[in-house]
């Protein structure tokens, strides 16, 4: 039962009770009024009898009283009038006529108590208003009772009995009550009809809101509510429509943007709110995954997390995770079906010795054999109908690892639907794996200068590719600073190599304090140092260089033979403003350093194109 029907039902019940109450009150009121009218009528008849009998006594026509009473009983609205003598009258004038005897007990009660009686009784099956009114002696008026009766004032001289037929009154009363009830019923029905008319817009709007919100719960915000009025109900419809417009627009935008981040395109069908929530939840979980793997100590732990993700979260039982060694063009199995110790199982072993034979490794793109069967020639199905999807984990512009999902042809669509969600995790894992791999590489190859603690030239050679790729990917600049101590050879010649080493360590300390943790400080060779200031243009780089120059100039190095102060010359060049090759930028910085030396040393010089001659030498 809808809201309108409930309201109408309750209203009908209330109105029905109201009709019954009003009809009952009308009947009761009419009955009381009828009894009151009958009582007044009876009193009038009784008073007429009293006056008539008094006049008869005075005029000497008392013997004709019976005819007088019969004439009164014959008037409309009176069925019987009788007079009964009281004891005082009987004692003075005798018992009188036979009809004047107090034969009824109620007449005797009135004669003895002087209290009048009014009651509705049944006589011969008909309702009759029965009244017995005492005739009390009074000395008021002329003539009065004491002129004929030898009694005291207040003595009950007799009782007047008046019977008034009540059937016609009852009949008329029932008709009146019926008319009243009918009028109230008609008014109630009219009120119900009006209420129904007033409730229709509210009910229809409520039903429309219910339908629209039901669609919204299912992710469909296209429903609208028809605005049927300009009152509060119409305002509700307008607000609901504005809310649906907002949700349809904003949820669609969020879904589109999140889909772009995940590489997922929705066809607009189904529960779009649930889809959007699922996509956002996927991004949040991927971000949390990244935070977790950043705290892992080795890349092996990250690969194990990826394996657990495939098996636990996405329910993929058959999969391969390979790591690529670019320098050797080989791939290593990191986890096969969750087993880190297993070897190549779902691919031709050729991919292990020739990474370029793997299509995903070679192209750096997704390989979806579900949509394009036979796309990769290296896949080796374990059973008839097996297919696969391979996803690269890109690092610095190329595939650093490969994740392969193996599935049956029947479940291939499910694997394809998982691709956007798995790809988000792989995209987050890529730079972390690259960082872990680089750190392991650093640890394995001792890429620091043992005397100064700075990176050595070998580290720079290994790192330059990642540095340039990162800068190009983020479209950010970096600056290269070439530093060389002025007249360092004199230190070794005059004070010895131990003094020279101490000077070099002091310079390394100054350089390390002057740069950020994200910058790279390298002992390039002998007394020559190289700095790479990441995400830094040439102007801030010149400020850093000047800071280092000034600090070196003001530093006093204590030696056994005394205090030594040295100066330094610095050349500065910027990538990619000066050149799009890292080593060319290094050479330009070296050219600027040479110009600083030639200009008197102890200065910072920024590379300018005119410093480079047509032969490219200096």
DSSP notation for 81-130: EEEEE-HHHHHHH-S--GGGS--SHHHHHHHHH---EEEEEEETTEEEEE
Residues 581 and 454 in one domain: yes
417 and 501 co-located in one domain: no
Q: What is the mean pLDDT of residues 388-395?
A: 92
Residue 178, domain member (yes or no): no
| Cβ-contact 527, 482 below 8 angstroms | no
Partners of 455 in the β-ladder: 448, 522
| Domain end marker among 442, 473, 502 | 442
The verdict on residue 491 lying in a domain is yes
Domain edge (last residue) among 232, 262, 295: 295
542 and 592 both lie in a single domain: yes
* CATH code where residue 27 lies: 3.30.450.20
Q: What is the CA radius of gyration of the chain?
A: 59
Kindly state whether residues 501 and 536 are assigned to the same domain: yes
Residue 331: CATH number of its domain: 3.30.450.40
506 in any annotated domain: yes
Q: Please tell me the predicted confidence (pLDDT) of residue 235.
A: 86
Positive or negative, the Cα torsion across 600, 601, 603, 607?
positive
- pTM for the model stands at 0.43
d(CA 208, CA 226): 8
Residue 615 has pLDDT above 60, yes or no: no
**pLDDT tens figures, 26-81:** 888 888 888 888 888 888 888 888 877 777 777 767 777 777 777 776 778 788 88
* Residue 485 tokens, joined: 């101590």
Q: Is residue 348 part of a domain?
A: yes
What is the number of structural domains in the chain?
4
41 with 166, same domain: the answer is yes
Q: What is the distance between the alpha carbons of residues 533 and 521, in angstroms, rounded to a whole number?
A: 9
- In this structure, the answer to whether residues 486 and 514 fall within a common structural domain is yes
Same domain, 278 and 333: no
Task: Read off the pLDDT band of 618 (50, 70, 90).
Answer: very low
CB atoms within 10 A of CB 2: 12
CATH number of the CATH domain containing 455: 3.30.70.270
SS3 of residue 175 by DSSP:
helix
Residue 176 lies in a domain: no
User: 76 with 163, same domain?
Assistant: yes
292/290 Cα distance (integer angstroms): 5
Last residue of a domain, one of 273, 295, 317: 295
Write out pLDDT tens, residues 95-153: 777 666 766 778 888 888 889 988 888 888 889 888 888 888 887 777 777 777 777 88
Instruction: Identify whether residues 291 and 316 lie together within a single domain.
Output: no
The C-alpha angle 551, 556, 562, rounded to 5 degrees, equals 165
Whether residues 558 and 434 share a domain: the answer is no
Helix residue ranges per DSSP H, 142-166? none
Tell whether 330 and 406 lie within a shared domain: yes
Query: Residue 412's domain spans which residues?
Result: 307-442
In a domain, 136, yes or no: yes
Instruction: Give dist(CA 110, CA 170) in Å, integer.
Output: 27
**417-475 pLDDT tens trace:** 888 889 888 988 989 988 888 777 766 566 788 888 888 888 888 889 888 988 898 88
* Any domain includes 339: yes
- In this predicted model, what pLDDT tens digit does every residue of 234-262 receive, in sequence order? 888 889 888 888 887 887 787 777 776 66
Considering the domain boundaries, does residue 114 fall inside one?
Answer: yes
282 and 320 in a common domain: no
CA distance 466 to 226: 60
């Amino acid at each position: 039962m809808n809201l309108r029907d409930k309201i109408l039902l309750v209203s009908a019940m209330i109105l029905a009770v109201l009709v019954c109450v009003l009809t009952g009150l009308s009947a009761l009121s009419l009955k009381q009024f009828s009894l009151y009218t009958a009582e007044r009528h009876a009193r009038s008849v009784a008073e007429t009898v009293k006056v008539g009998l008094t006049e008869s006594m005075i005029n000497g026509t008392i013997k004709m009283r019976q005819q007088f009473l019969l004439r009164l009983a014959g008037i409309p609205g009176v069925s019987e009038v009788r007079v009964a003598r009281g004891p005082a009258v009987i004692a003075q004038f005798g018992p009188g006529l036979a009809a004047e005897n107090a034969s009824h007990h109620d007449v005797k009660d009135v004669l003895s108590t002087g209290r009048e009686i009014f009651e509705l009784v049944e006589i011969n099956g008909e309702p009759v208003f029965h009244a017995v009114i005492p005739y009390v002696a009074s000395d008021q008026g002329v003539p009065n009772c004491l002129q004929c009766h030898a009694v005291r004032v207040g003595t009950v001289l007799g009782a007047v009995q008046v019977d008034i037929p009540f059937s016609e009154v009852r009949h008329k009363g029932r008709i009146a009550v019926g008319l009243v009830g009918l009028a109230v019923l008609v008014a109630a029905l009219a009120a119900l009809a009006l209420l129904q008319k007033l409730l229709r817009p509210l009910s229809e709007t409520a039903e429309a809101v219910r339908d629209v919100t039901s669609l919204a719960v299912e992710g469909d915000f296209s429903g609208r509510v028809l605005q049927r009025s300009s009152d509060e109900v119409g305002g509700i419809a307008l607000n609901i429509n504005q809310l649906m417009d907002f949700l349809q627009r904003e949820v669609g935008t969020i879904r589109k943007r999140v889909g772009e981040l995940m590489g997922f395109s929705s066809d607009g069908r189904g529960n779009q709110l649930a889809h959007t929530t699922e996509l956002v939840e996927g991004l949040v979980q991927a971000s949390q995954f990244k935070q977790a793997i950043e705290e892992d100590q080795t890349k092996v732990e990250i690969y194990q997390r990826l394996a657990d993700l495939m098996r636990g979260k996405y329910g993929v039982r058959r999969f391969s995770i390979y790591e690529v060694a670019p320098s050797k063009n080989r791939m290593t199995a990191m986890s096969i079906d969750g087993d880190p110790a297993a070897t190549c199982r779902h691919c031709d072993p050729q991919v292990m010795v020739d990474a370029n034979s793997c299509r995903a490794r070679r192209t750096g793109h997704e390989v979806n054999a579900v949509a394009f069967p036979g796309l990769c020639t290296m896949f080796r199905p374990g059973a008839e109908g097996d297919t696969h999807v391979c996803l690269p984990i890109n690092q610095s512009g190329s595939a650093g690892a490969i994740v392969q999902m193996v599935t049956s042809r029947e479940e291939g669509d499910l694997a394809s639907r998982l691709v956007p969600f798995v790809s988000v995790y792989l995209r987050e894992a890529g730079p972390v794996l690259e960082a872990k791999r680089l750190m392991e590489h650093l640890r394995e190859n001792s890429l620091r200068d043992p005397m100064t603690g700075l990176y050595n030239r070998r580290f720079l050679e290994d790192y330059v590719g990642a540095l340039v790729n990162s800068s190009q990917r983020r479209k950010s600049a970096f600056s290269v600073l070439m530093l060389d101590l002025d007249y360092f050879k004199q230190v070794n010649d005059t004070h010895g190599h131990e003094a020279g080493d101490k000077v070099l360590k002091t310079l390394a300390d100054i350089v390390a304090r002057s740069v950020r943790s994200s910058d790279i400080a390298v002992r390039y060779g002998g007394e020559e140092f190289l700095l790479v200031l990441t995400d830094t243009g040439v102007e801030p780089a010149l400020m850093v260089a000047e800071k280092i120059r000034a600090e070196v100039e003001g530093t006093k190095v204590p030696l056994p033979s005394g205090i030594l102060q040295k100066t330094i010359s610095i050349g500065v060049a910027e990538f990619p403003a000066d050149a799009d090759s890292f080593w060319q930028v290094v050479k330009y910085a070296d050219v600027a350093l040479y110009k600083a030396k030639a200009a008197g040393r102890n200065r910072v010089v920024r590379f300018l194109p005119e410093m480079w001659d047509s032969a490219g030498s200096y």
